[in-house]
Amino acid sequence: MYDFLRMIISFVFVLGVLVFIHELGHYLAARWRGVHVDVFSIGFGKPLYRWHDKVGTEWRLCPIPLGGYVRPHGFADPEDVSEEERATYISGKTFHGKGVGSRAIVIAAGPIFNFLLAIILYFGLFLTVGKHSLGDPVAQAIVADSAAAKAGIQTKDTIIKIADINQPGVEKLVLFAQQHPDLSTTVTVKRDGKDMVLPIIIGSKEQDGKKIGLLGVQLGANIIEGKPMSVGNAAVAAVEETWDVSAKTVEGLGQMIIGQRSAKDLGGPIKIAQLSGQVSKGGFADLVGFMALLSISLGLINLFPIPVLDGGRLVFYAFEAIFRRPVPKPIQERAFQIGFVLILMLFLFSTYNDISQFSWFRWLTGHSN
C-alpha cells in the first residue's frame, strides 16, 4: 500500500510539474505577444479550485492529472464563433488577431520551456552531485542454453567489446544483438582482471513477425558517480546532456518506425507512474533526473507534425508564412480529425503495452510463461 501511494504521489508530482512548465511557456509567450489568456488549467475535468488573477485569467486545478491547457483569448478561428461571442473580444488581445509570427511563438513556447526545464534540472544535478554515468555491462544472470551460455560468458563478467564495438554500454549492446540475429562474432569480457575473447553466435527469435537477436544474459551496470561541477561546466554539461538525450530519443523512435527496435518499448501513463514510484525510492536526485528525461520527451512529442499537437500547428503557420495565406479550412479540419485519431491510437497502444506487462493480463490472454 505504501509503495502504491508513493507511486501515485510521485506520478502526480512529476506530471504536474512538467505540464505546468509546458503551459507556462504558452502563457508567458501569449502575455509577451499581447494576447490575453482566458484559462490556465492544470488537469482536466470539473475544477476542484479556481481563481482569477488581476488581469482576468482564470486559473484552474482539476482532478484528472493527465495534462493541462492554456486557452488564449480568441483562439478559435473567427468564422467558427458567433457574432455575440466576437462582440466580447478584447480589441487587440485576441490570438487570431496577431500575426503568424506571434502565433507561432505562443505555440512553440510550450515545448521550448520543456527543454529549458530539462537544462535547469540537469544544471542543478551536475552542480550539486555531479554527472553520474553507467559503467560497462556486467552479466548478472545467464539463460541456460543461450548464446551467452554457449559462448562461456559467466556471471560477474564485464562485457567490454562485441564485434568491433568497444565499451558498448548496456543499451548499445542489447540493440546490437537485436539487430544481428544468428551473427557469428566475438565478445570480449573482463574476468578476474583479465581480458578474454570468446566466440559467440547471437541467438534469435521471432517477434512481431520479424527475427531479432538475443544474447541470453541479464545485464546490469555499475553507476560511476561524478563530482560536483563548477557553474560554467555544469551549464555546458546540462545543455550537452539535453541535446544528447533528445538525439537518442529521436533515434530510438526512428528505430521503432523502421523496425530496428520493438514498438513494445513504447510506454504510456501507467509505465510513467511505475517508473516515477521506482525512481523516487532512489532519492530526490534520481527523481529530478527522471523528470528531466520526461520533460525532454514531452517537448519532443509536442513538436511532432501532428495537427492536434503544437508541431502540427507550427506546420500550418509555416505554410501561412510562406504562401501568405492560411491552410484552407477543410484541410485543417480533416487534418485535425486524423491527428486526433493518431493520438488516440498512440495512447491506446502505449497503454496496452503497459498493461501487457502485468502477469494477470498475460494469463488472461494466454501468454503467461
Given a cut of 60, whether residue 72 has pLDDT beyond it is yes
Q: Residue 306 domain-assigned?
A: no
CATH of residue 211's domain is: 2.30.42.10
Averaged confidence pLDDT in the chain: 82
Q: Residue 142 domain-assigned?
A: yes
Please state the rounded mean pLDDT for residues 269-293: 68
Given a cut of 50, whether residue 70 has pLDDT beyond it is yes
- Confidence band, pLDDT 50/70/90 cuts, at residue 268: low
Catalytic residue, candidates 23, 58, 84, 225? 23
In the chain, the percentage of residues whose pLDDT exceeds 70 is 82
- Confidence band, pLDDT 50/70/90 cuts, at residue 278: low
Q: Residue 149 domain-assigned?
A: yes
- Confidence band, pLDDT 50/70/90 cuts, at residue 254: confident
Three-class DSSP category at 289: helix
pLDDT at 15: 83
Given a cut of 70, whether residue 104 has pLDDT beyond it is yes
- Confidence band, pLDDT 50/70/90 cuts, at residue 5: confident
Three-class DSSP category at 88: coil
Q: Residue 185 domain-assigned?
A: yes
Measured CA to CA, the distance from residue 186 to residue 33 in angstroms comes to 60
Evaluated on CA atoms 89, 93, 96, 97, the torsion sign reads positive
pLDDT at 360: 37
Given a cut of 60, whether residue 363 has pLDDT beyond it is no
Please state the rounded mean pLDDT for residues 184-204: 88
pLDDT in tens, 221-243: 766 677 899 999 999 999 999 99
Number of structural domains (the chain) is: 1
Q: Residue 168 domain-assigned?
A: yes
pLDDT at 210: 77
23 is catalytic: yes
Q: Residue 99 domain-assigned?
A: no
Please state the rounded mean pLDDT for residues 318-323: 93
pLDDT at 356: 57
Given a cut of 50, whether residue 369 has pLDDT beyond it is no
Q: Residue 202 domain-assigned?
A: yes
pLDDT at 33: 95
> Strand 49-52 and strand 58-61: pairing?
antiparallel
Q: Give the residue among 132, 195, 202, 149 at the shortest CA–CA distance from 174.
A: 202
Higher pLDDT, 90 or 57: 57
Please state the rounded mean pLDDT for residues 128-146: 82
Q: Could you please report the per-residue DSSP string of 188-228? A: EEEETTEEEEEEEE-EEEEETTEEEEE--EEEEEEEE---P
pLDDT at 322: 94
- Confidence band, pLDDT 50/70/90 cuts, at residue 366: very low
Please state the rounded mean pLDDT for residues 30-57: 93
Q: Residue 33 domain-assigned?
A: no
- Confidence band, pLDDT 50/70/90 cuts, at residue 118: very high
Query: Range of 153's domain?
Result: 133-224
User: How far apart, in Å, are the Cα atoms of 113 and each of 17, 93, 120, 311?
Assistant: 12, 23, 10, 14
